[in-house]
Amino acid sequence: MRIKFIRFIMFESEYLCTNDHQVAIFMKYRKFGRLDWEVSALGFGAMRLPVIGGDPSRIDEPEAIRMIRYAVDHGVNYIDTAYPYHGGNSEIVVGKALRDGYREKVRVATKMPIGLVNSREDLDRIFDEQLKKLQTDHIDFYLLHGLNRERWAKTLDLNVLDWAEKVMAEGKIGYLGFSFHDEFEVFKEIIDGYDGWTFCQILYNYIDEDFQAGKRGLKYAASKGLAVVVMEPIAGGMLAVPPPPEIQAIWNESEIKRTPAEWALQWVWNHPEVSVALSGMSTMEQVVENIKSADRSGPNILTEKELELISRVREKYRQYGFIGCTGCRYCMPCPQGVSIPEIFALYNEYSRRRREGDAQREIIKKYQETIPPEKGAKICVKCGECEEKCPQQLPIRNLLARAARIFERNR
């Protein structure tokens, strides 16, 4: 059967045509808090763009631009980036992608790295740099990046909110929000501590339902009229990989067949309090599939049986020792040179294949072939610098020690 796509005027729809019929594909839109504006259910997160030679700072610009523009052409109207992403190059590539009329089709979100700010001059310098990188005269949605208890105190001490209000009055920022990595009580304190928030960004997926702000934070922010942007809906891609047989058997019980990535996305979209789910897409295939998933999304569309299946999968993953590393690389560079994200990716793969001895042995072999001894887990000296940077607050030193016991014992 020959299949082709016919694109119609604007970006509201696409038709998947077969010899027998046409199936319309539409982007779904949702309310963005109190604003009289609707956001695409899927947002493009520019933290995991395709790279060259495995170097996170070397973005494959032509492919990244093609992916971003494809997403916009198919209805995505929210692009999220940040000052440190891809070694400072993400904003540059997003700026290039939004030339040729694309800037007018989207709302751009980027972030002030509070951890790097020590003065009013830093705020002005970084913000001006971001405008130049993004090739724009204003940021639609501006976030204070990675707020936790310490950074919230720093925000207040440096009068960052006064600075932001001044820049908003100048028309250079549309709306102010924050991204968050800490406990719920800190999240509540931040929301209640300032009346000018329009939106917030939290980590949320079916594994991390009660982690950090969690479900309580989602509902509290929505009750205050804030739009909620969800990051890591697929846990940094971990929920998209082929699952262990026991977990796949649970998914197979569903009448509606979905990929692991779509199960994760639909769980997030099932929450009416969610405005947009960000996906850090690294390939065009991921962009295409996620747009199709967004077309099938909606609040409260999952059945009780489907929610029960997801709950069972959650418990299985927890039994497998799931590490909540999202591959954000904030822990890098390690002073000792330890390849932390790569080690954790292999550790997660090893954990998922817990009852497959041959597969686990292959993963150990893969570790020893791809992780040089001078970058291995046993090199960790437990300085703790990585844990101070980790937005997921992972016990990295303990996890590396565990990984070393598995992967380094016969090296």
396 and 313 co-located in one domain: no
* Nearest-10 Cα torsion for 387, 321, 182, 79: 90
State the Cα–Cα distance between residues 105 and 73, nearest whole angstrom: 9
219 and 366 co-located in one domain: no
Q: Report whether 76 contacts 44 (CB < 8 A).
A: yes
310 and 390 co-located in one domain: no
Q: Domain total for the chain?
A: 2
297 and 344 co-located in one domain: no
Q: Which residues are registered as beta bridge partners of 14?
A: 7, 25
Residue 20 lies in a domain: no
- Both tokens of 341, joined, read 């994200």
Domain final residue pick, 289, 319, 349: 319
190 and 68 co-located in one domain: yes
123 and 269 co-located in one domain: yes
Cα-Cα end-to-end distance for the chain? 52
**pLDDT one digit per residue (tens) for the chain, 411 residues:** 233 333 333 334 444 443 444 456 689 999 999 999 999 999 999 999 999 988 889 999 999 999 999 999 999 999 999 999 999 999 999 999 999 999 999 999 999 999 999 999 999 999 999 999 999 999 999 999 999 999 999 999 999 999 999 999 999 999 999 999 999 999 999 999 999 999 999 999 999 899 899 999 999 999 999 999 999 999 888 788 878 788 899 999 999 999 999 999 999 999 999 999 999 999 999 999 999 999 999 999 999 999 999 999 999 887 766 677 778 888 999 999 999 999 998 988 887 776 666 888 899 999 999 999 999 999 999 999 998 888 877 889 988 988 988 898 767
Q: Report whether 303 contacts 256 (CB < 8 A).
A: no
Helix 396-407 × helix 357-370 angle, to 10°: 110
314 and 392 co-located in one domain: no
Residue span of the structural domain in which 53 resides: 26-319
What is the per-residue pLDDT across 86-127, written as a single tens digit (0 to 9) for each? 999 999 999 999 999 999 999 999 999 999 999 999 999 999
